[in-house]
Structure 1
Amino acid sequence: MATKKPKIRTMEELASAIAVSRPTLSRFFQDPESVRPATAEKIRQGLAHVDYVPNFFATRMNRRASGLVGVIVPLLTDPFFASLLQTVELAALEMDFTVITQCSHGSAELEANAVERLLSMNTEGVVVAPLGEYGSADALRQLGRSLPIVFVDSRPAEPYTTIDFVGTDNEQSIGLITDYLCRTGAPPVYLGMPRLNSNGLERESAYRRWMAGHDLRPEVLPDDLAPQSWAFETYAYQTMDALFGQGLYVDATILCANDRLAMGALQAAHRHGLFNSRPGARTRVRIAGHDDHPLSRFMTPALTTVAQDIDTIGMTAMSLLASRIRSGKPGEETVERTFPAALKIRESA
């Protein structure tokens, strides 16, 4: 029968049990090679005979390099940000960093709180998916003066000349999907997203430029009443349900600023019988999105969209951050890297 190991709760108790000094034990947990090999082996042998779990933060907070990086995203339940976070975390692990995740929940106040919390945790750098005009500009500016930052997915409301950015080339992605829709049917009208980050304005502007450049009239569905909320599906459903109910846009091509909007529009179209359920039959309305939401291929009909290269975006953002951290100084020039999207043609358009 195995002997139950004695429970050790503090570093002081552990030092006494192993018969080494508290500073020596602390140095061992920070870097085992910083103590003599015989002492390191003595500590390892002692740890094998006691029940002790080192306090993660206690062993890292006193290090010159904590190995901690922060990530701030607006919404954890959004599949795009969940996928981005997963990619950043896996890349960080490969680079020997540990990720501390914070969520702003779409709130400028909570974004500022997340910044303060990460600063207090001795993080070495932060990847931030910032909010738009409603974001915490002062807090982000303070963070940028203290730590390396990489903005990812969307740009902040005001320019930061010393902070890198990684995201999707919205000009290319919107041009790609708009060109396809124009080649295969009626030119699209555009359903925009609430102004919660810079992507909404960038994608709408790209749509307007593409249409004007091809001598077509851009038409943006009214969004002046769009709530400042991340409930995109609800907003799109209510908007399109009202328009379809008036007999408007029932034969149109509708390009949505993201797939979550498209899902709401699809539901409204179903409610008004705008999709023919017979296999191969042409639908009245065509709906397309942007992002390639994980469920977009399983919609009815499956959603035509463009896929962002989330893996490359996340890995590049983390690589840039690690480079800034390890160099110990800001780069001479701000790095901006955007990546093209890929067209995904499915049944909806």
Structure 2
Amino acid sequence: MQSDKKRIDTMEELAVAIGVSRPTLSRYFQDPERVSRTSRDRIAQGLERVEYVPNFFATRLNRKSTGMIGVIIPYLNDLFFTKLLEAIERAAMEAGFTVITQCSHSDPLIEARAAETFMSMSVDGALVAPLGNHSDMKVHDRLRSRLPFVLFDSRPKNMPDVDFVGTNHDQSTGLATEYLCRVGKPPVFLAMPRVNFNAMEREHAYIAKMDELGHEPQIIGTEMIQDNGLFEAHGEAVLDREFAAGRLIDSSILCVNDRVAIGALRAAASHGLEPGSKRVGGLRIMGHDDYPLCPYTVPSLTTVAQNVDEIGRTAVSRLVGAIHAKKSPEEQFVKLFDGEIKVRGSA
């Protein structure tokens, strides 16, 4: 329905319509408590009579804080980051901040431009999930020299002193490895080309746990099979090659993440294989992350869930604390959350 209220486009027009000064109106939109009760009541009543939307940026020009947090994620088409971003946004709203999200789209130049955008907008702080070993670390160094900065999800080895919130991959991958050793054959690890920090940490954790359990680690998929063939396409291509050669058809396979595992399930289906403890043969496929589609694959994917809600909440809490602090924290903050196995049909 169309409003019959008078439309006001500028704060100058609004001040005249309500009958208060422009500076008083500006202070009201910055913080209603900064003006007298009489003026607050007059402005509130005036706003009921007109159609006016305050300019978000104009109301923050004279503030010490913009009330904005910048977030950089590497992928928009990844439902794991959708879940993580939801947790971040909810925590930020509870803390009184607005989230501005940029996606690097797997491109270090876009990632760098996103960082520059946040600095130009004078956001109060930034949360960044870096791309991997092809990120431009100079950009991240510049960003954290200008404003409070917390890394989440993945941590570059050449930024060891930065606050970080993520998953304890030694625990989560070790848990998955132990589980597969308990229910079947010691697992083969389906890795990724070495461009992803989390993937490399999980690979190392798998090797350490297999050594601890007295088994020989076996790793496949570290090389690129197809151009731009990461995640689902990579998992499918690697296992299609193995199954076609008659290899791994009765093995336990621990995939570096759920998206790779979804591709692995597709490869198994195309070769007439049925992974899962209740099916004929010994093939088992397991992932990591608890991607939202895992319960709906065929068979449903056994995986290790990351504590996404706590990762998002803790990252925001640490950043907000740094924003409100008068000086930078002297000690680095690192919080790693344990994973939890989700047993489903595939293993």
Instruction: Give the TM-score taking structure 1 as reference length.
Output: 0.94
1:92-131, aligned counterparts within 5 Å?
A: 92-131=92-131
Which secondary structure state, in structure 2, belongs to the residue aligned with residue 48 of structure 1? helix
Match of 1:191 in 2: 190
Which position in structure 2 is the counterpart of 1:254?
253
Deviations, residues 134-162 of structure 1 (Å, cap 9, x unaligned): 1121111111001111111100252152x
Distance 2:20 2:73 in 1: 43
Q: 1:315 to 1:267 in 2, by over 3 A?
A: same
Change (3 A) 1:229 1:87: farther
Q: Paired residue for 2:140?
A: 140
Match of 2:91 in 1: 91
Match of residue 25 from structure 1: 25
Residues 215 and 284 of structure 1: is their aligned pair in 2 closer, same or farther, counting only changes over 3 Å? closer
Q: CA deviation at 1:16?
A: 2.0
CA contact (8 A) 1:156 1:197 kept: no
Spell out, residue by residue over 1:288-323, the C-alpha distance to the aligned partner (whole angstroms, 9 max, x if none). Answer: 111111111222112111111111111111111111
Contact preservation (8 Å) 2:210, 2:217 = yes
Residues 259 and 305, structure 1, Cα contact 8 Å, conserved in 2: yes
3-state SS of paired residue (1:56): coil
In structure 2, the residue matched to 1:41 is 41
Q: C-alpha separation between the residues in 1 aligned to 2:228 and 2:149?
A: 26
In the alignment, the residues of structure 1 paired with residue 227 and residue 197 of structure 2 have an alpha-carbon distance, to the nearest angstrom, of 13
Alignment correspondent of 2:337: 339
CA distance in 2, matches of 1:148, 1:258: 30
Distance 2:263 2:119 in 1: 39
Which AA in structure 2 matches 1:316?
A: T
How far apart, CA to CA, are the structure 2 residues paired with 1:204 and 1:175?
10
Instruction: Give the superposition deviation at 1:113.
Output: 0.9
- In the aligned structure 1, how far is the partner of 2:227 from the partner of 2:204? 19
**Mean alpha-carbon deviation: is it higher for 238-247 or for 334-343?**
238-247
1:37-69: CA deviations, max 9, x gaps?
Answer: 212222222222111111112112331112111
Given the superposition, is the C-alpha separation of residues 192 and 45 from structure 1 closer, same or farther in structure 2, using an over 3 Å criterion?
same
For each residue in 1:199-240, what CA deviation from the matched residue of structure 2 results, as whole angstroms up to 9, or x when unmatched? 011000111111122221111104222568484101111111
Q: TM-score, normalised by structure 2?
A: 0.95
Match status 1:293 vs 2:274: no
Residues 276, 219 of structure 1: CA spacing in aligned structure 2 closer, same or farther, 3 A cutoff?
closer
In the alignment of these two chains, the number of paired residues is 346
Q: Deviations over 1:232-261 (max 9, x none)?
A: 101111111122111121111111000110
Q: 1:308 to 1:97 in 2, by over 3 A?
A: same
- What SS class does the counterpart of residue 20 from structure 1 fall into? coil
Gaps of 5+ in 1: none
Structure 1 residues 229 and 313: CA distance shift in structure 2, 3 A: farther
Percent identity between matched residues is 48
**Quick check: 1:131–1:156 contact (8 Å CA) kept in 2?**
no
Q: CA–CA distance in 1 between the matches of 2:81 and 2:275?
A: 33
Question: What CA distance in whole angstroms lies between the structure 1 residues aligned with 2:227 and 2:324?
Answer: 38
Counting only pairs closer than 5 Å after superposition, residues 1-349 of structure 1 correspond to structure 2 as 4-161=4-161, 163-225=162-224, 229=228, 231-275=230-274, 280-349=278-347
Deviations 1:112-140 (A, max 9, x none): 11111111222111111111111121111
Q: Whole-Å Cα distance in 2 between the matches of residues 272 and 3 of structure 1?
A: 62
How much has 1:99 moved relative to structure 2? 0.9
Give the 3-state SS of the residue equivalent to 2:336 in structure 1.
Answer: strand
1:328 shift after superposition? 2.8
Distance in 2 (CA, whole Å) between partners of 1:254 and 1:205 is: 16
Q: Against the structure 1 CA distance between its residues 87 and 276, is the aligned structure 2 distance closer, same or farther, given a 3 Å change threshold?
A: closer
Structure 2's unaligned 5+ residue stretches are none
